[in-house]
Structure 1
Amino acid sequence: MTKAAVLSGGCQCGAVRYRVVGELGYPHLCHCRMCQKAAGNYFMPLASAQRRDFAVTRGEPKWFHSSDIVRRGFCADCGTPLFFDTPDADGINIVLGSLDNPDTVKPVMQSNTGRRMSWFHELAALPIEPEPETPDRENAIAASNHQHPDHDTAHWPTGASA
């Protein structure tokens, strides 16, 4: 018997963390207008976790009912989108960018492509911004970073009590 995968993730500030035991199903990019607005982006990457395999491990998400059927979970402190949930379904959808290691879950499908940006096919041809001549700005950002690290922590922010 193989050991089940354990995936963890959370919001940018670390107030809300979650864990999924097992594989995520149907990883996809949703281009619908509702997902665009919820993500503040051109699409939202989602995948399903069985509710029995999912747990919030720190804090509580805030929920917005984007329709009568669906609610969207996010961090009330930093605003990070985390979940797309149909409450009476067996699963909950995780926003893939909130995973600690999002590169491990590759989308296999796209949905609602009628709202996909008409120019997406041109992205690979865009010029790449050159690396800065001095890393001063990046070093300053790294030295003052308040973002939660991409792994579970016993306390956050560092030194805070649970």
Structure 2
Amino acid sequence: MTGGPGAVLVMGEALIDLVPSPDDRLTQHAQPGGAPANVAAGLAALSTPSWFAGTLGGDGFARAIEERLVSAGTELGLCGRSELPTALAVADPGPDGTGYHFHLQDTATFRIAERASEAGEFGAVYVGGLAAVVSPAAEAVAATARAAAERSVLVVDPNVREDRTLD
């Protein structure tokens, strides 16, 4: 399984954004998200070969994320699988229009395998999002990033969430 010099390995989380309906704040709309998953889908949609190296859960949310990635053209050969649930990012717009609460514990989303041995097979490696700072994924992301820095172009997106609450 190789990406090639024009391909991008994207490592990080795929999760579900629960966004309130503009008409009824008690009605939530589930949307596939996670910065790294969005990057992988965006690259593929722009005809750049992308491989998503996150972990998808065993629930309906994970199936929706997988459908989005595959329909964009993202390769999932390096994507892990788990029976754990998918992480949630619950939008809670306050007076200034922003606010998120993350439900991350005991989810598949952060059970990411390191991909240091595969990093050199790609023209670029993108790491970032919450997976760069939430264990146990953070250790796998760091090991992959170190390997990528030696053999590939490394893109780090810190996607800092200082004002967000994590569970």
Q: TM-score range by the shorter chain?
A: under 0.3
Give the structure with higher Rg (CA): 1
TM-score of the pair, normalised by structure 2: 0.25
Which protein has the bigger helix share? 2
TM-score of the pair, normalised by structure 1: 0.25
